[in-house]
Structure 1
Amino acid sequence: MEEPKIKVLYIDDEVNNLSAFKANFRKLYDIYTAESASEGRKILESVDVEIIITDQRMPEMTGVEFLESIIKEFPNPIRILLTGYTDMQALIDAVNKGQIYRYINKPWNEEELKMFINQAHELYTLRKENEDLTKELLKVNNQLEFMIRQKLLS
């Protein structure tokens, strides 16, 4: 059985960048694109995206502001910030507020970006497995506590 493709959301106000990204990566990943943060949020509400890549400089809100705004509602996707500018404050905010995994400069190197997406997906998968194992462990722990109480009461 073929593995399902990684679901990647790319947000950028530059349509040419969205088209280039989709053309380069559509065979490898399920690509969703958005021209704005609000469009990106709508996609997140309907698709279980694993990786979010967003441009930093957009008119509606910055990439960091967008990533920060979705953390509570969508905590699981791994976040990558893409920018054509070297802005140290944006980098600091991205790490501290947007919880980004990677900061990548434009124009991106296709092989490098592919490697980062695959590494981000590995992290996503490990976090999901950890979350599932923790739930299972709590369930077993509760069952064990119940059995011990029953023994003590009898």
Structure 2
Amino acid sequence: EVIDSKGVSMWQGLITIAAAKAAAAGGNLNNVMNKVNETISQLRAVALLDTIKYIVKGGRLGMAAPAISKIESILHVKLMLALHDGELRPSGMVRSQKKGIDKIRDMIKSASHLEELAIGYTTTIEEARALSEYATSLLPNLVPHIYRLGPVLGVHAGPGALVTVFK
């Protein structure tokens, strides 16, 4: 079957892990497909970009890019993006990397039902590890996946980017 995962990278990775677990538990194709579709509907992704320069150059913000670029340059803010139904959309702006990480920490904390967490980074593994440690301090049974964004995503995210995918 062909599936529109509505995401890339560890978004697809978490879907694959869910499918593998369903199959390993003895699920037939229908069970696995149900789990895949359920997982797709439950996944959330948030990205914190140090600058929008690279995502604008890559054409990934569409019509909103000029306005967001102007706001970023005037206010010196960092953009947060969320993935909604396969589309990247601005989800907020923060004044510093620390404030952006604090927002991500708040999201992790409020997701008390958190089953899976993947944290991607371009150049800041220390920040990814700190988020992972924070998540496991709240949910000791959680095993976050830390990964470096590949070149296809990294070129759009730029240096200093953090991406979290969670279910």
* Range of TM-score over shorter length: 0.3 to 0.5
TM-score, with structure 1 as normaliser: 0.35
Report 1 or 2 for greater relative contact order, CA contacts < 8 Å, sequence distance ≥ 6: 2
TM (normalized to structure 2)?
0.33
Bigger radius of gyration among the two: 1
